[in-house]
Amino acid sequence: MQKGWSIFFGVILLATFLIWFAAPFFGWWLPENISTFGGGVDNLFYAILGLTTFFFVLTEVVLVYAMWKFVDRGGEKSVYTHGNHTLELVWTAIPAALLLGIAIAQIGVWEKIKYQSRMPAPDLTVSVLARQWEWRMRYPLDNQQFHYEDEDQKAASNLKSRLWAENPNFDDVHAINELHVWKNANVKLWIRTLDVLHSFTLPNLRLKQDTLPGKTIPMWFNAEKSNCEFVVRERSTGKPVTLAFNSKTKLVEVVTPSGREPLEARVADLKGELETSGNKADNWEIACQELCGSRHYAMRGRLYVHADEKSYYAWLQYSRGAQKATSLEAAVSMR
């Protein structure tokens, strides 16, 4: 009868193992990677997963086998041992070597993602302010001010953008729970919190950073895939309007037969909308991964990667126009 226990545990462990194998087929796995450095994170993840799986299976097999084999054999006396030096050395040295291996293998990936000195010059800067229970994003109207070509200007630019993150500008565009960037842009984020610890997580980018009260923490990423485009239509007719984009001044203008007008000034009679594929897999999430209070579960947002710079700036300048609404017509321009 006592052998039943080894069967019981054996079956449970086997089931756990099989569920783990089945999980990806039910969608319980990492979401699609869209960042430039995500591949490195995934490789590390799989390497560590492979190692731990191997040792997990090994130890569990030995454990269950030992339960089966050495179950009470009636009247036999136990043998006491004071340990085996060689064995202990072996099982200490192997994990130590493996850990050291992992520690060395991860340096390159970590450095690329987290080292401030390795962060590229930003095409876009966003301030993210966490609070119970939402993410408040702030976008500068002018991203050029933080851009630099020369590495010498890096420190000065960094300080400037950090000061901006800590002190809002009059022109800033505010959005709640929505992170907008464009494809292939180097994005710099400054992460802060108003209250408690939160953890700003972008699963699709394999990126995660805790927010610490009192600290302004930089993050960066570059998304290689887009999931949306900003389309502007005539409010009355629903016809899409033609937009012109000046890549130098970053100004988006509405092209009409009579001439051009800044998009920002036309929100009252235009309707701008984010168009997405509608596929669930293209809903890229922002999540809080630090239990931060009773509504922690609801502290979610969306990552919108625009197809190109033009789409992003159209969204930005349209939002700016909506934020400057002075008429009833403009007040309904954006949800």
Partner 1 sequence: MHRQATTLSRSLVVAAGLVVIFLAGCDDSNRYPAALRYPERADLVLKTENTTDYRVALPPPGKLDEAIREAADKKLFQVVVDPKDIDRKDRAELTKALEELFGTPAAPSIAPIEPTRAPRGKREEAEENLKLYESLLSENLGEDISDDDITYLVTDSDTLNKLTVVDPRSTTLAKGSELYRRHCMHCHGVAGDGRGPTGAWVDPHPRDYRQGVFKFLSTTKAAIASGKPRKEDLIRTLEKGIDGTSMPAFGLLPRHELEQLASYVIHLSLRGEVEYDTLMVLARDKNQIGDDLKKFVYQRAIQYTGQWARASKMEPNRPAAYPYSSATPEEMHESISRGYKLFIGKAECLKCHMDYGRQSAYRYDAWGTLVRARNLTETNYRGGRRPIDIYWRISGGIPPSGMPAHALADQEMWDLVNFVQALPYPGMLPDDVKHKVYPSPGEKH
Binding residues (CB under 8 A) for partner 1: these are: 1-2, 4-5, 131-134, 136, 168-170, 174, 176-178, 265, 294-295, 298-302, 322-328, 330-331, 335
Please give the C-alpha separations between residue 244 and each of 222, 259, 309, in angstroms, as whole numbers: 25, 11, 12
Tokens linked to 42? 């995934």
Tokens linked to 253? 């203008």
Q: Which is nearer to partner 1, 5 or 45 (CB)?
A: 5
Smallest gap from residue 194 Cβ to partner 1 (A):
10
Q: Which is nearer to partner 1, 38 or 301 (CB)?
A: 301
Tokens linked to 29? 């796995």
| Number of residues that make up the chain | 335
Smallest gap from residue 263 Cβ to partner 1 (A):
14
Smallest gap from residue 282 Cβ to partner 1 (A):
15
Smallest gap from residue 2 Cβ to partner 1 (A):
6
Q: Which is nearer to partner 1, 136 or 154 (CB)?
A: 136
Q: Which is nearer to partner 1, 99 or 265 (CB)?
A: 265
Assess contact for 147 and 157: CB atoms under 8 A: yes
Smallest gap from residue 293 Cβ to partner 1 (A):
8
Please give the C-alpha separations between residue 292 and each of 132, 177, 193, 296, 299, in angstroms, as whole numbers: 7, 16, 11, 5, 9
Q: Which is nearer to partner 1, 183 or 296 (CB)?
A: 296
Find, among 203, 123, 134, 207, the residue nearest to 157 by Cα. Answer: 123
Q: Which amino acid is at 264?
A: E
